[in-house]
Structure 1
Amino acid sequence: MYLYALAVSGGAVAYMPFLTLLLPLRVSAMNKAEVLTTLAIAAFVGAISASLSNILFGWASDVTRRRRIWIFGGLLLSSALMLSMPYAGDTNVLIALIVCWQFGLNMMLAPLAAWAGDTIPDVQKGMLGGLLALAPALGALSGAIVTTDMFAGFAQREALVALLVLCMVAPVLFLGKPVAMPHLMDAKGVDIGRDDDNPKPTNPAIRMWLARLLVQIAEASLFAFLLLWFRSLDPRFGENDAASIFAIVLGLSVFVALGVGTWSDRSAKPIMPLILTASLAAVGLIIMAWAPNMAFAIAGYVLFGLASSIFLALHSSQTLRVLPRPHTRGRDLGIFNLTNTVPSLIMPWLTMALVPTYGFDALFILLAGLAFAASILLLTMSRRI
Structure 2
Amino acid sequence: MTLESAAPAPEVASREPVSRTWLLLFALAWFGFWLLVMLPGQFMVVKLASVIDPAEKVAIGSFLITEMALVIVVGVPLIGWLCDRTRTRFGRRRTWALGGLIVATAPFAFVGQQTSWAGAAVLLGLVALGEAAVLVALSAIIADQVPEAQRGRASAAMGVPQVFALALGMIIVTELVTDVGTSWLVIAVLALLTPLPFLLAFPEPAPQDKPARARRSLWRRASWAGYGDLGWAGLSRVLINAGNLVGTTYLLFFLADVLLLPDPDGSLMILILFYLGGCAIASWLGGVLTDRFRARRVFIALCAGLQAAAALLLAFVPTWDASIVAAVLLGVGYGMFLSVDQALLTDVLPDSETRARDLGIVNSAQHLPIAPLVGWAVLTVAGYTELYIVAAVIMIIGGLVVFRVRSVR
Matched with 2:9 is none
Deviation, structure 1 residue 61 = 0.5
Q: Root-mean-square deviation (CA), in Å?
A: 3.3
Of residues 91, 109, 127, the one that matches 1:101 is: 127
Q: Distance in 2 between matches of 1:311 and 1:140?
A: 16
Code of the aligned partner of 1:114: A
Matched with 1:82 is 108
Of residues 217, 220, 224, the one that matches 2:245 is: 220
Fraction of identical pairs, as percent: 21
Q: Distance in 2 between matches of 1:177 and 1:320?
A: 21
Does the 8 A contact of 1:354 with 1:363 survive in 2?
A: no
Does the 8 A contact of 1:7 with 1:168 survive in 2?
A: yes
Alignment of 1:122 onto 2:144: no
SS in 2 for 1:341: coil
Q: Distance in 1 between matches of 2:377 and 2:285?
A: 34
Does the 8 A contact of 2:62 with 2:376 survive in 1?
A: no
Deviation, structure 1 residue 335 = 1.7
Does the 8 A contact of 1:194 with 1:324 survive in 2?
A: no
Of residues 80, 83, 100, the one that matches 1:61 is: 83
Residues 281 and 155 (structure 1 numbering): CA distance in 2 closer, same or farther, change over 3 Å?
A: closer
Q: Distance in 1 between matches of 2:322 and 2:117?
A: 42
Matched with 1:377 is 401
Does the 8 A contact of 2:246 with 2:372 survive in 1?
A: no
Of residues 359, 362, 376, the one that matches 1:336 is: 362
Code of the aligned partner of 1:339: Q
Write the mapping of 1:218-297 to structure 2, written as runs, cut at 5 A.
Answer: 218-229=243-254, 234-236=259-261, 238-239=263-264, 240-291=266-317, 295-296=321-322
The Cα offsets for residues 62-86 of structure 1, whole Å up to 9 and x where unpaired, read as 1215111111111222222234446
Matched with 2:65 is 43
Deviation, structure 1 residue 175 = 0.9
Greater CA deviation, 198-207 or 98-107? Answer: 198-207
Of residues 379, 382, 386, the one that matches 1:352 is: 379
Code of the aligned partner of 1:61: C
Code of the aligned partner of 1:347: V
Write the mapping of 1:108-257 to structure 2, written as runs, cut at 5 A.
Answer: 108-147=134-173, 150-152=176-178, 156-179=182-205, 196=221, 198-199=223-224, 202-229=227-254, 234-236=259-261, 238-239=263-264, 240-257=266-283
Alignment: residue pair count = 372
Code of the aligned partner of 2:238: L
Greater CA deviation, 213-222 or 369-378? Answer: 369-378
Residues 168 and 318 (structure 1 numbering): CA distance in 2 closer, same or farther, change over 3 Å?
A: farther
Does the 8 A contact of 1:216 with 1:343 survive in 2?
A: no
Residues 300 and 118 (structure 1 numbering): CA distance in 2 closer, same or farther, change over 3 Å?
A: same
Code of the aligned partner of 1:221: V
SS in 1 for 2:369: helix
Deviation, structure 1 residue 174 = 0.6
Code of the aligned partner of 1:224: T
Q: Distance in 1 between matches of 2:328 and 2:172?
A: 26
Residues 237 and 165 (structure 1 numbering): CA distance in 2 closer, same or farther, change over 3 Å?
A: same
The Cα offsets for residues 351-383 of structure 1, whole Å up to 9 and x where unpaired, read as 237734xx61x5444433333322222234325
Q: Distance in 2 between matches of 1:154 and 1:236?
A: 22
Q: Distance in 2 between matches of 1:109 and 1:28?
A: 29
Residues 125 and 67 (structure 1 numbering): CA distance in 2 closer, same or farther, change over 3 Å?
A: same
Q: Distance in 2 between matches of 1:288 and 1:32?
A: 25
Alignment of 1:52 onto 2:79: no
Q: Distance in 2 between matches of 1:213 and 1:82?
A: 26
Residues 382 and 166 (structure 1 numbering): CA distance in 2 closer, same or farther, change over 3 Å?
A: same
Residues 24 and 295 (structure 1 numbering): CA distance in 2 closer, same or farther, change over 3 Å?
A: closer
Deviation, structure 1 residue 169 = 0.8
Deviation, structure 1 residue 125 = 1.5
The Cα offsets for residues 203-251 of structure 1, whole Å up to 9 and x where unpaired, read as 2112111211221222111113335556677544742233212222112
The Cα offsets for residues 269-291 of structure 1, whole Å up to 9 and x where unpaired, read as 23332122223333444444454
Q: Distance in 1 between matches of 2:372 and 2:179?
A: 35
Does the 8 A contact of 2:310 with 2:329 survive in 1?
A: yes
Residues 54 and 236 (structure 1 numbering): CA distance in 2 closer, same or farther, change over 3 Å?
A: same
Greater CA deviation, 98-107 or 5-14? Answer: 98-107
Code of the aligned partner of 1:340: H
TM-score (norm 2): 0.78
Greater CA deviation, 40-49 or 114-123? Answer: 40-49
Q: Distance in 1 between matches of 2:349 and 2:95?
A: 23
Of residues 32, 35, 38, the one that matches 1:13 is: 35
Does the 8 A contact of 1:110 with 1:330 survive in 2?
A: yes
Residues 334 and 36 (structure 1 numbering): CA distance in 2 closer, same or farther, change over 3 Å?
A: same
Residues 14 and 369 (structure 1 numbering): CA distance in 2 closer, same or farther, change over 3 Å?
A: closer
Q: Distance in 2 between matches of 1:339 and 1:285?
A: 20
Does the 8 A contact of 2:283 with 2:338 survive in 1?
A: no
SS in 2 for 1:115: helix
Matched with 2:24 is 2
Matched with 1:318 is 344
Code of the aligned partner of 1:92: A
SS in 1 for 2:368: helix
